[in-house]
Structure 1
């Protein structure tokens, strides 16, 4: 793909940068001229992505919910590249179970891995973003807009990320910082693969059939690919999105456009 280099000279910190959306975003941002600092709790996948990207990538492993770890990540970016312009707050994880099945520890973990990671990363990066046109993309989910079954922690946390996005946009827009939320639907990532495998086992089908099942009622009828989400991340960070802050961008194969009570009237409904 012939990139425009619209992010030339910029530096991005990407949390959850070793796999899935984070890794795809890293590749896309580098292709558009940026350098990236890859963070995550597992060193090996971070190193694998960095090896692909060469001098444009730096690994800074750590827990994005831990203030001291994030301070080290930001310091690593500034030490290596002498600046930090962008953040992709992508770290996240599960929050499985209905409310009655969710322990205090489960709840706190869901908040920590999904919300606290974005909060701490944004707070730490802000001094470097203010006054220089910095930009943040907060990766929420379609679960930030709608509730799935028995995922109370995840749904609540992803809703909270939209509130965090709007608060950041409101408070720091006059400092030139733009903050937007991205809400993907089903994306073909390792985490989604795990969920498809659970569904496949329940239905006696394979993973690909499970993906078809969960997307059959969406207008596009397929899961989203990580590279497609990465392209939206790059757009939101770029000058092409200069008028956008506090926005919630949905990339879900059209799922949110569907009126669920009318699905039974579709010609191919079963």
Structure 2
């Protein structure tokens, strides 16, 4: 379980997407350990239930590529817990293809999961977050800070998510809520373990995305996200945190 919250989230409600595995799961468990009531969202209900056992948690199976799902998630959480204090947009999808071979459906899904879903969820959750002076943490990627080969849709979406974070942070600067983003590097998650490369790739281009220190564990990134959700980060707003094992410094 990532981190040790020590009760710092007692009484708070957190919506965490991608909570059935990987980084989303680590964040959900960390917030729960800190006393939050976590409303986990993912496509696999069985894995969601397993991820969120213990604590006063709930889960909702949804495919966030569907624009209607975001409003349903927020409504279900508010019905269950009465409000929302924290929104962590951790769900992601990444399809590597030669750009000329990317299908319309693949492009649309990259944008839908990685950019549109965080926007729709934030829009639906904003009235509740404003009421409770809550916070949003968007999980972008170092792909939102640089180019990555064979990842046109993913890079475009993650660059857009950083822009969305900054735009909303400015718009709600005087409202009291906090909106930040985290840009992880490579992690040992099911998304990476099940990765498929395009046909005949240039592996030298792919290696440009790797850190010399290797892959991180999801808990290492979850600890930063948990911090950003806490009162300890009360002065952190509109910031883009890079957590990448030093990759962007090279």
Structure-1-length-normalised TM-score: 0.83
Partner of 2:5: 3
The corresponding residue for 2:33 is 31
Does the CA contact (< 8 Å) of 1:64 and 1:120 recur in 2? no
Map 1:115-194; keep pairs closer than 5 Å: 115-194=115-194
| Shift of residue 184, structure 1, vs aligned partner | 0.4
Gaps of 5+ in 1: 203-211, 259-270
Q: Is the 8 A contact 2:178 2:238 kept in 1?
A: yes
| 1:20 to partner: Cα distance | 0.3
Could you list the per-position Cα deviations for residues 50-71 of structure 1 after superposition, in whole angstroms to 9, with x for gaps in the alignment? Answer: 2x3x342101111224343222
The range that moved more, 19-28 or 59-68, is 59-68
Alignment of 1:250 onto 2:245: no
- Count of aligned residue pairs for this structure pair: 243
TM-score, normalised to structure 2's length? Answer: 0.89
CA distance 1:68–1:110, shift in 2 (3 Å): closer
- The Cα RMSD (Å) is 2.3
Report Cα offsets for 1:104-142 as digits up to 9, x if no partner. 222111111111111111111001001422100000111
- Structure number with greater CO (CA < 8 Å, separation at least 6) is 2
| Ranges in structure 2 where 5+ consecutive residues have no aligned partner | 202-206
Please give the alpha-carbon distance, in whole angstroms, between the structure 2 residues aligned to 1:2 and 1:99. 42
* 1:40-189 mapped onto 2 (5 Å cutoff): 40-50=42-52, 52=53, 54-189=54-189
Taking structure 1 as reference, are residues 214 and 92 closer, same or farther at Cα in structure 2, changes over 3 Å only? Answer: closer
Which one is further off, 98-107 or 121-130?
Answer: 98-107
- Write the distance in 2 (CA, Å) between the matches of 1:124 and 1:2: 30
Higher helix share: 1
- Is the CA contact (8 Å cut-off) linking 2:97 and 2:197 kept in structure 1? no
Q: Distance in 1 between matches of 2:78 and 2:55?
A: 15
Alpha-carbon offset, residue 214 of structure 1: 7.0
Moved over 6 A (4+): none
CA distance in 2, matches of 1:29, 1:235: 10
Q: Which residue of 2 aligns with 1:263?
A: none
Check whether the contact 2:67–2:117 (CA below 8 A) recurs between aligned residues: no
